[in-house]
Amino acid sequence: MIGQSRIFLETLGLIERISNCNAPVLIEGETGTGKELVARAIHYGGSRREYPFVPINCGAIPDDLVENELFGHKQGAYTGAQSDNAGLITQAQHGTLFLDEVDSLSPKAQVTLLRFLQDHSYRPVGAGETRCADVRIVVASNADLDKLTELGAFRLDLLFRLKILNLKLPPLRERQGDAALLANHFLHICAEKFSRGVKTLHPETLAWFDQYCWPGNIRELENLISREYLLENSAVIRFESPANENGERRIGIDRRHINLTSMDFNEAKNEEMEKFVKSYLIEILIKMHGNVTKAAKLAGKERRAFGKLLKKYGIDKNLYSL
């Protein structure tokens, strides 16, 4: 998990606190914000890290097989059940069961999950005995479950069971400076994966990263960087901001305008200056691969003064080194 924006660091702190609890977690966020990655961070950062992390996409479970998938079955439970089969609950014993796209569960499946959450007891299909599971449930949704409950599409009692601990992931457009940092990380991955040499992003390309709204969030950024890395023959990659169907830039101008007009002139000026300085420092570090001496020289600053700026804006040079 990579980032250094204020909202991202606050999210990291909340993840750490949630990891040390042993209650159901609801992770909400737009598509591509890294919900499964966060679920894994919660699991491996907690006391269950030595036990399995079992992910499942709820949208891929047929409605008539929900109980079989979750609880397993005994041999002969139905035609074709030629042997015992451990369900996901059994596989995740003492660990974490991650249910992605929980909003896609049918009403019948929601009842099944609710019944299990009440006391963590279950019965495999075809079994006579009831079993008890020691499993932490973490779920994720890119839909607003509160609104779905108002529409009658999601059970309110199930939402209460799942929302004991709630984590809302910020979209990439709200994480100032993180897009450039993530892009640099993805470039390193591409260099290792495709063996086509080390490449960097042109400053003009980096300049619009915090202005673009990134509707696909981190996943969109990763795919974009991978494509440009593979298609670009030179060591410096330069490309334009993605455009919508009308050819217009999707750059969140209205959002920025609202934020600025809530302040007086000096406050707005100072905030924009701070964003510019931080963005400038990050771009230079990316270009110089984290080498502070070279970055300071390029910026026309003494190394000590440049280092003080990095400290002032909370920028870790190690995040940009190859």
Q: At what angle do helices 265-287 and 178-194 cross, to 10 degrees?
A: 20
132 C-beta neighbours (distance < 10 Å), count: 9
Cα angle at 228 between 227 and 229, to 5 degrees?
Answer: 90
Are 196 and 187 in contact by the 8 Å Cβ rule? The answer is no
Beta strands in 204-247 (DSSP E): 236-237
Domain ranges of the chain: 6-170, 173-320
Beta strands in 153-310 (DSSP E): 165-168, 200-201, 236-237
Contacts of 54 (CB under 8 A, 6+ apart): 88, 91, 92, 95, 96, 97, 98
How high is the pLDDT of residue 317? 78
Q: Which CATH architecture best describes the domain 6-170?
A: 3-Layer(aba) Sandwich (3.40)
How high is the pLDDT of residue 245? 37
> Taking the alpha carbons of 105, 106, 111, 116 in that order, is the dihedral positive or negative?
negative
Cα angle at 197 between 195 and 202, to 5 degrees?
Answer: 135
C-alpha–C-alpha distance, residues 294 and 286, integer Å:
11
β-pairing verdict for 96-100 and 136-141: parallel
How high is the pLDDT of residue 249? 36
- Tokens 């059970």 map to which residue? 155
How high is the pLDDT of residue 263? 64
Element (H, E) at 283: helix 265-287
C-alpha–C-alpha distance, residues 252 and 255, integer Å:
5
* Whether the domain at 6-170 and the domain at 173-320 fall into the same CATH topology: no
How high is the pLDDT of residue 61? 83
CATH class for the domain made up of 173-320: mainly alpha
How high is the pLDDT of residue 247? 39
Residue-wise pLDDT tens for the chain (322 aa)? 899 999 999 999 999 999 989 899 999 999 999 999 999 999 999 999 999 999 999 888 887 788 888 887 665 556 566 566 778 999 999 999 999 999 988 888 899 899 999 989 887 877 767 888 999 999 999 989 999 998 888 999 999 999 999 999 999 999 999 999 999 999 999 999 998 899 999 988 998 998 899 989 999 999 999 999 999 989 999 988 884 333 333 333 334 434 444 566 777 767 777 777 887 787 777 777 778 888 888 888 888 888 888 888 888 777 665 5
DSSP 125: B
Are 172 and 215 in contact by the 8 Å Cβ rule? The answer is no
Three-state DSSP class for 135? coil
